[in-house]
């Protein structure tokens, strides 16, 4: 059975940073996605973008998921379709990869049925997943966390810099035993 690892914890505690540290010791093909919350795209507020894990891309209209703090039609009606399109595309070649990155999953995916189905398909497959689950009330996030093939590690300010945590992550994902991966700058 393939084993998957998800990090969880409070916002801004360092989950994605730890994930990136873990990936530095990986020497295989990475697939999947990461999300980016930025003020660089709008300049007047924050937006969230879904970017492929290893293909350089700047936040723009083509990878925009939603605009934070707004109830505009974009954020309410279009968000599930954007998750479906961008997320499914980022995961479509998962069988050709050695590790799938899912940074991060949260409650915004609630209405993105195709994307949620694709995530479950990837988790049912033979490729290990390393990801981040937001700490949020969500039946879908609970479904992932309760799977027998998933280990969820809670990251805190106290444990986030512990060398043992990186060792534990590496032991849970055997493909991380390789060294000297070249990662895109945004993953370093």
Under the banding of pLDDT at 50, 70 and 90, the label for residue 176 is low
Measured between alpha carbons, how far is residue 124 from residues 61, 128, 174 in Å? 31, 10, 18
pLDDT in tens, 129-172: 999 999 999 999 999 999 999 999 999 999 888 888 888 887 77
In the chain the first and final C-alpha atoms are separated, in Å, by 30
The arithmetic mean of pLDDT across residues 26-30, rounded, is: 85
Asked if the model's pLDDT at residue 106 lies above 70, the reply is yes
Q: What local confidence, expressed as pLDDT, does residue 160 receive?
A: 87
Q: What local confidence, expressed as pLDDT, does residue 88 receive?
A: 96
Q: Collapsing DSSP states into helix, strand and coil, what is residue 121? A: helix
Nearest to 155, CA basis, from 168, 165, 141: 165
Q: What local confidence, expressed as pLDDT, does residue 87 receive?
A: 96
- Which class is domain 4-180? alpha beta
Three-point CA angle 14, 45, 78, nearest 5°: 90
Q: Collapsing DSSP states into helix, strand and coil, what is residue 68? A: coil
Q: What local confidence, expressed as pLDDT, does residue 76 receive?
A: 59
All structural domains of the chain with their residue ranges: 4-180
Distance CA 119, CA 188 (A): 24
- Phi, psi angle pair for 101, to nearest 5°: -100, 130
Tokens coding 153? 């590690």
Measured between alpha carbons, how far is residue 128 from residues 32, 86, 108, 121, 188 in Å? 11, 20, 23, 12, 20
73 alpha-carbon distance from chain centroid? 25
Distance CA 108, CA 162 (A): 31
Sheet holding 64-67, edge to edge: 64-67, 47-52, 30-38, 99-105, 129-133, 4-9, 150-155
Q: What local confidence, expressed as pLDDT, does residue 62 receive?
A: 93
Which residue shows structure tokens 């590790």? 99
pTM: 0.86
Asked if the model's pLDDT at residue 187 lies above 50, the reply is no
Under the banding of pLDDT at 50, 70 and 90, the label for residue 186 is very low
pLDDT in tens, 6-18: 999 999 898 988 8
Q: What local confidence, expressed as pLDDT, does residue 16 receive?
A: 86
pLDDT in tens, 39-96: 888 888 899 999 999 777 899 999 999 888 765 545 457 889 999 999 999 999 999 9
The arithmetic mean of pLDDT across residues 97-112, rounded, is: 92
The helix (H) or strand (E) run that includes residue 186 is none
């Amino acid at each position: 059975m393939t084993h998957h690892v998800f990090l969880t914890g409070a916002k801004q505690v360092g989950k994605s940073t730890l994930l990136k540290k873990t990936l530095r010791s990986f020497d295989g093909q990475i697939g999947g996605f990461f999300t980016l919350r930025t003020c660089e795209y709008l300049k007047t507020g924050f937006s969230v973008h879904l970017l492929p894990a290893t293909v350089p891309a700047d936040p723009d209209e083509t990878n925009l998921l939603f605009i934070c703090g707004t109830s505009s039609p974009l954020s309410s009606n279009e968000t599930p379709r954007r998750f479906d399109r961008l997320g499914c595309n980022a995961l479509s070649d998962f069988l050709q990869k050695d590790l799938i990155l899912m940074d991060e999953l949260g409650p915004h995916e609630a209405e993105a049925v195709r994307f949620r189905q694709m995530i479950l398909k990837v988790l049912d497959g033979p490729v290990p997943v390393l990801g981040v689950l937001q700490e949020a009330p969500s039946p879908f996030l609970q479904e992932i966390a309760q799977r027998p093939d998933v280990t969820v590690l809670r990251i805190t300010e106290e444990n986030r810099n512990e060398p043992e945590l990186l060792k534990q992550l590496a032991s849970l994902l055997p493909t991380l035993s390789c060294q000297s991966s070249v990662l895109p700058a945004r993953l370093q």
